[in-house]
C-alpha cells in the first residue's frame, strides 16, 4: 500500500526583503507606539498612574492588533496596516512633544 499523496503541494510563504522590512518595521512601530502611549499618559496626568494607564492602553492596543491580524507580527501583514501604524505613532509623538512645552 502506498501512503496517501496530497492532491496539492504545500505553498510556502513568500520571503524576501520587502516582507522582512515590513516585519521589522511592525516590530519597531508596535514597541515605539506602546512606549509613546505610556509617555503620553504620564504627560497628561503628570504621574506614574498616567504612565500605568498608558501601558494598559498599549496592552489593549496590542490585543486589538492581534485580533485584527491574527498575530502581532506576521509575514502576511498588509503594507497599509504598517503605514497606518506609522501615522498613529507619529500622532502620538507630536502629542507628546506638545505636552512637553
From first to last of the 101 residues of the chain, give the pLDDT tens digit: 556 655 565 555 566 777 888 999 999 999 999 999 999 999 888 888 999 999 999 999 999 999 998 888 888 889 899 999 999 999 999 999 998 87
Q: What is the dihedral of CA 57, 60, 62, 65, to 10 degrees?
A: -120
Rounded Cα gap, residues 14 and 46, in angstroms = 46
* Max Cα distance, the chain (Å): 77
At residue 42, φ and ψ (nearest 5 deg) are: -65, -45
The pTM of the whole model exceeds 0.85? no
Query: In the prediction, which pLDDT does 101 show?
Result: 78
Instruction: Report d(CA 65, CA 25) in Å as an integer.
Output: 15
Amino acid at each position: 500500500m502506498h501512503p496517501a499523496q496530497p492532491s496539492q503541494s504545500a505553498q510556502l510563504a513568500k520571503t524576501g526583503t520587502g516582507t522582512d522590512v515590513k516585519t521589522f518595521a511592525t516590530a519597531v512601530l508596535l514597541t515605539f507606539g506602546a512606549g509613546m502611549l505610556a509617555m503620553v499618559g504620564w504627560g497628561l496626568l503628570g504621574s506614574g498612574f498616567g504612565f500605568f494607564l498608558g501601558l494598559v492602553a498599549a496592552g489593549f492596543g496590542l490585543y486589538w492588533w492581534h485580533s485584527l491580524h491574527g498575530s502581532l507580527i506576521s509575514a502576511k501583514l498588509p503594507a497599509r496596516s504598517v503605514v497606518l501604524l506609522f501615522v498613529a505613532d507619529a500622532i502620538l509623538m507630536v502629542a507628546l512633544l506638545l505636552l512637553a512645552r
